[in-house]
A and B are shown apart, each in its own frame.
Chain A
Amino acid sequence: NAGVTQTPKFRVLKTGQSMTLLCAQDMNHEYMYWYRQDPGMGLRLIHYSVGEGTTAKGEVPDGYNVSRLKKQNFLLGLESAAPSQTSVYFCASSDPGLNYNEQFFGPGTRLTVL
């Protein structure tokens, strides 16, 4: 049982490049989330999904897109990276049938945009 995994762990991009971050969970959770964490800012919600095929905007969605084609995967895309998107990105999942407030987090992806 791997829990929540994220790939890649580290990435350096140049301004304007695109990339996709992959999140996978093997706990059969309905809900999945993407956060970014910047120094002194805590965790801020980018997008989330309450089920396969559904997505919704969070607090800071601009510049990002997401897709949830399979229940176990949640993809975060950056179409044209900007230095302001340099951050640590965390994916999380939760089960509404148990306690949706208990979110299980992946190890994070450290992204630098030059």
Chain B
Amino acid sequence: GQSLEQPSEVTAVEGAIVQINCTYQTSGFYGLSWYQQHDGGAPTFLSYNALDGLEETGRFSSFLSRSDSYGYLLLQELQMKDSASYFCAVSGDSGYSTLTFGKGTMLLVSP
């Protein structure tokens, strides 16, 4: 089985940088993904890390350390529209085709 830990809530101000951490315990691991969900709507894919290191996509970056079973999502130049829930998800425990999601981190961006 798998377990993922991420903070339940993070607050920040516009223009700031915020890091959302995710630690995982798995019996098998292929990679770590991040998803964003606004107001209970459809989750949307942000990033995927299969190898150690940093992946950058615009204002968002994602990092993975396989040896530490740890990853994070870094959001820069925060905007009000970044207020949402962010989920980390791992693949590899129940076969390569499925994801196991963390409970999510609610990010609140204030002016």
Contact = CB atoms under 8 A, between A and B. Distances in A.
Q: Do A and B come from one complex?
A: yes
Nearest to B44: A105
B41 interface: yes
A40 B103 contact: yes
B89 to A, nearest CB: 8
Interface residues of B, number: 23
A99 B100 contact: no
A105 B38 CA distance: 13
Given A43-B87, A101-B48, A107 B100 contact: no
Q: Say which size band chain A's interface belongs to.
A: 20 to 34
Contacts of B94: 45, 58-59
A96 B99 CA distance: 13
Contacts of B48: 99, 101-102
Contacts of A45: 94, 98-100
Given A99-B48, A108-B41, 9 more contacts: A42-B103, A42-B104, A45-B99, A45-B100, A58-B94, A58-B98, A103-B99, A105-B43, A107-B41
Interface of A: 4, 31, 33, 35, 37, 40-45, 48, 50, 58-59, 88, 90, 94, 96, 99-108
